[in-house]
A and B are shown apart, each in its own frame.
Chain A
């Protein structure tokens, strides 16, 4: 399988995308280049290669494809080391020379996303946001807050399906308006009952659902919203310097999640239009009439942490900086803190007992 590496024209080091200014940066000689400039240079190099030893390269690529198709092992073009990647990895790093590597075949054809939002936050921002977020949590184990853990945060492009849905909803309900008043020694309650019918339609644009089985659905949902105005035409350049995943959950498998969200939201909006004290839904029918899909990639700073044989996650929206996570809880810390609070309860109980008994 062909492996893509954007090399620095000055020193030959692997170029990485700098989220701060969206330029390609060489971490070795610190040169920075416009993406268009690098793409032009890269295209020229490829053309020259093809002119000189095209037949030889083609044969090598065919053999590589046969080999890598079954083993998922790639060769780093910088140091020659073998890179192992699982079936969904689309961009990664060489473990030995740490050069960024894009597995271009995993982002081409049907697997090519139409657009992506590039990383707009840096690793330093992700690390400091992580530490600020953890710092507020008392009952998280110390190791989870450690700087060494924070340094393991990786920038990952997560595959997302964006669904445009046209929805039509009909709800039949019984509405009650209740009025109470007091007269003499009696309290009166008046109930006015209404037969309520609502029908509405609407269009949802770009409801996101991650297409990666590795990413926790709830965690990815919590990173919303993404600002779609920053969506760019897909280019391999953006993947350089980050990890990227190709989708392994098809849109038909994602559809139930999208439908559940649309149904729930449509029902809630229709229900909100019923201005009653009590509403009892008698019948409802919410239908998604049309769905259009787009395959995109979204930037996420990600950290996985193992604690007591269970995986916990931290994630930060690589565009907006919104943080979320599934946190480990130190039961030891919680137990002692609860004992301390319990002691306050004990003292209050003794005092209360002394007063009332």
Chain B
């Protein structure tokens, strides 16, 4: 794993050099938390690394975070950097924070994309990361990043449980009230059985035509369309 991260560091360094000629100077003892130009302190980096390592063991997904300070990198360059980074890691989620432009991105790759769609990556940034990054709480940001990923990649999410509870209530009510109605006594006798000849004798049967009118309504038509997707998703924004 160490080798992979060192290779990745080298890859990011190369990418960065190609773009802006910057180079990573990652702390020697950090693996999952990659820091450029002292964007965060060493102690913060160590703490973030521990958190990311624990999350990786816990979820079976490669968690990684990159902190940099490159005012020359555009947002799209940061996004493509994140995308390349996560692609190299396989089944992974990567957070890249660029303090140079105050831009951050969350990128997922592999199986994670089943649950971590573009929309979910944006939500992780908006709901979890943004406020922490605004406060320059880097450890807090990593914690929030892990929390957000866990929330959206959980086997059963809160939304699913709510759907389940709604399903439970609907099925419960249908069962309860249908059985209650079934057990309610509502048999009615047929009085026609007692009618002589089984029918009435009609002495008057008049049907007089009165009026006629025709109305016209336009038929509405609708159309629908759809889009495609890819095996890669990301979302981010400025903080």
Across the interface, name the chain B residue whose C-beta is closest to A218: B185
Residue of A whose beta carbon sits closest to that of B155: A354
A342 contacts B171, CB within 8 Å? Answer: yes
B180 located at the interface, meaning its Cβ lies under 8 Å from any Cβ of chain A in the complex:
yes
B202 touches A200 (CB 8 A): yes
Known: A197-B206, A219-B185, A221-B189. A329 touches B201 (CB 8 A): no
> CA–CA, A184 to B174, complex, Å?
43
Known: A191-B212, A218-B187. A206 touches B157 (CB 8 A): no
**Does A188 lie within 8 Å of B191, measured CB to CB?**
no
Query: A97 near B: Cβ within 8 Å?
Result: no
Tell me, rounded to whole Å, the shortest Cβ–Cβ distance linking A152 to chain B.
20
Inter-chain contacts of B188 with A (CB < 8 A) = 221-222
CA distance A225 to B172 in the complex (A): 38
- Chain A residue numbers with a CB within 8 Å of B159 are 353, 357
Q: Is B2 an interface residue (CB 8 A)?
A: no
State A240–B179 Cα separation when bound (angstroms): 41
* 5 contacts across the A-B interface (CB closer than 8 A): A170-B204, A261-B189, A329-B183, A334-B180, A341-B172
Which A residue sits closest to B160, measured CB to CB?
Answer: A353
| Residues in B whose Cβ lies below 8 Å from that of A218 | 185, 187
Name the one of A190, A224, A324, A339 contacting B172, with C-beta atoms under 8 angstroms: A339
CB distance from B204 to the nearest CB of A (A): 4
- What B residues does A329 contact at CB under 8 A? 179-180, 183
Residues of B near A273 (CB, < 8 A) are 202, 205
Against A, the Cβ 8 Å flags (1 = close, 0 = not) of B203-220 are 111111111111111110
Query: A202 and B163: CB pair below 8 A?
Result: no
Contacts A204-B196, A222-B187, A347-B164 given; does A198 touch B172 at CB 8 Å: no
Provide the residues of chain B in CB contact with A175, threshold 8 Å. Answer: 207
A321-356 vs B, CB cutoff 8 Å, 1 = contact: the mask equals 000111101000011011101111111111011101
A346 to chain B, nearest CB (A): 4
- B210 touching A193 by the CB < 8 A rule? yes
User: Is the Cβ of A352 less than 8 Å from the Cβ of B200?
Assistant: no
Q: Contact: A338 with B175, CB < 8 Å? A: yes
B204–A224 touching, CB < 8 Å:
no
Say yes or no for B4: interface residue by CB 8 A criterion.
Answer: no
Those 5 A-B pairs whose CB atoms lie nearest each other, nearest first: A349-B167, A345-B171, A353-B163, A342-B172, A353-B160
B176: A residues at CB distance < 8 A: 334-335, 338
- Give chain B nearest CB distance to A203 CB in angstroms: 4
Bound Cα distance from A139 to B204, whole angstroms: 52
Contact across chains for B202 and A342 when beta carbons are under 8 A apart: no
Whether A232 is near chain B, meaning CB under 8 Å from some CB there, is: no
Chain A proximity of B197: nearest CB distance (Å)? 8
Question: Nearest-CB distance from B72 to chain A (Å)?
Answer: 40
Return A51 CB to nearest CB of chain B, in Å: 49
In the bound complex, what is the Cα–Cα distance between A342 and B168 (angstroms)?
Answer: 4
| Extra inter-chain contacts (11) besides given A198-B206, A350-B164, A354-B160, CB under 8 Å | A192-B209, A194-B208, A195-B206, A196-B208, A197-B208, A200-B201, A200-B203, A219-B185, A265-B191, A337-B175, A345-B164
**CB pair A265 B192 closer than 8 Å:** yes
Whether A308 is near chain B, meaning CB under 8 Å from some CB there, is no
In the assembled complex, the CB of A191 is this many whole angstroms from the nearest CB of chain B, namely: 6
With CB as the reference atom, state the residue of chain A lying closest to B180. A329
Complex Cα–Cα for A62 and B78 (A): 117
For the complex, what is the distance from the CA of A349 to the CA of B165, rounded to whole Å? 7
Residue of B whose beta carbon sits closest to that of A169:
B200
Interface presence of B170 (CB below 8 A): yes
Residues 142-183 of B, flagged 1 when their CB comes within 8 A of A and 0 if not, give 000000000000001101111111111111101110011001
List residues of chain A with CB within 8 A of the CB of B206. Answer: 195-198
The digit string for A150-172, where 1 denotes a CB below 8 A from any CB of B, is 00000000000000000001100
The reply to whether B207 and A353 contact each other, CB–CB distance below 8 Å, is no
The answer to whether residues A343 and B168 also contact, given A192-B209, A224-B189 and a CB cut-off of 8 A, is yes
Q: In the complex, what residues of A have CB within 8 A of residue B170's CB?
A: 345
Once bound together, how far apart are the Cα atoms of A188 and B208, in whole Å?
A: 24
Q: Which residues of A contact B200 (CB under 8 A)?
A: 169, 200-202, 266, 269-270
What 1/0 flags go to B125-139 for Cβ under 8 Å of A? Answer: 000000000000000
Structural contact, A350 and B183, CB atoms closer than 8 A? no
Residues in B whose Cβ lies below 8 Å from that of A202? 195-197, 199-201
Contacts of B187 in A (CB 8 A): 218, 221-222, 324
Residues of A contacting B212 in the complex (Cβ-Cβ under 8 angstroms)? 190-193
Q: What distance in Å separates the Cβ of A344 from its nearest Cβ neighbour in chain B?
A: 6
Q: Does B76 contact A (CB under 8 A)?
A: no
Asked whether any CB of chain B lies closer than 8 Å to the CB of A185, the reply is: yes
Report Cα–Cα, A93/B36, bound state, in Å.
Answer: 104
Q: How far is the CB of B124 from chain A (nearest CB, A)?
A: 15
Q: What are the residues of chain B within 8 A of A326 when measuring CB–CB?
A: 185
The proximity string for A residues 11-37 relative to B, scoring 1 for CB distances below 8 Å and 0 otherwise, is 000000000000000000000000000
